[in-house]
Amino acid sequence: MQKNWNKFFDSHGRFYLLPHEDITKFINLCKERKLNKILDLGCGPGRHVVKLAEEGFEVFGIDISPSAASLAEKWLHQKNLEAEIFVADFDDKQKDFEDNSFDAILAVNTLEYGQQGEFGENLKQIGRLLRKGGLVFIVYRSEQSQLKHPDVPVQFKSEEDLKAEIAKHFEIEDFHIDQKHNFVVFAKKA
């Protein structure tokens, strides 16, 4: 999978320049709830890492692609911003973090990639890393999504299945479909 993502970002560069349409809601919720330490899973070339750093949050990003992580670091440097970027698979890197390490975690078009069964385990690990009352912001591709990505396995879920899986780990506060037909979830760790 890493090879495909590297090839994608090597050829497209900063493919995503604008943050997700709901990032402002995420930022406002984090500020209202005094959530400062944020992890971006699958940060790619940095569109959310940069925006969150601009807003003054303590930001960490993980991406499996060294090319994407390098683009994120360069973008941060160009804007004279700080964030810590890790090149790693979440399955491996999450073991380095202690329980309750983060106030908020976002995973925008990230958790649907991978093998069957990984989604539930990833949610479990997000729950472990998130402090009580912490916020999780998930954007998950639907079969109607308008996204172009490399040849990487995608695990599509129905709206009902996605809600049920997330509800096993978090209290869902908002669930809707964005303009690109992705499922959008805001949830908290009870």
Residue pLDDT tens, the chain, 190 long? 445 544 554 455 556 678 999 999 999 999 999 999 999 999 989 999 999 999 999 999 999 888 889 999 999 999 999 999 999 877 666 678 899 999 999 999 888 877 667 888 899 999 999 999 999 999 998 888 766 555 666 778 899 999 999 999 999 999 999 999 999 999 999 8
Cα gap 132→47, rounded to integer Å: 27
Q: What is the pTM of this model?
A: 0.88
According to DSSP, the residues that pair with 130 across neighbouring strands are 102
How high is the pLDDT of residue 130? 97
Q: How would you classify residue 100: left for phi > 0, otherwise alpha for psi between -120 and 50, otherwise beta?
A: left
- SS3 category, 97: coil
Question: Is residue 15 within 8 Å of residue 9, measured between CB atoms?
Answer: yes
CA dihedral 167, 187, 123, 107 (to 10 degrees): 140
How high is the pLDDT of residue 188? 97
How high is the pLDDT of residue 30? 98
Q: Which CATH superfamily is domain 2-188 in?
A: Vaccinia Virus protein VP39 (3.40.50.150)
How high is the pLDDT of residue 95? 74
Q: DSSP secondary structure string, 35-86? A: --EEEEET-TTSHHHHHHHHTT-EEEEEES-HHHHHHHHHHHHHTT---EEE
Pair of tokens at residue 45: 């070339």
How high is the pLDDT of residue 15? 61
How high is the pLDDT of residue 6? 45
Cα gap 128→106, rounded to integer Å: 14
What are the domain boundaries of the chain? 2-188
75 CA to centre of own chain: 18
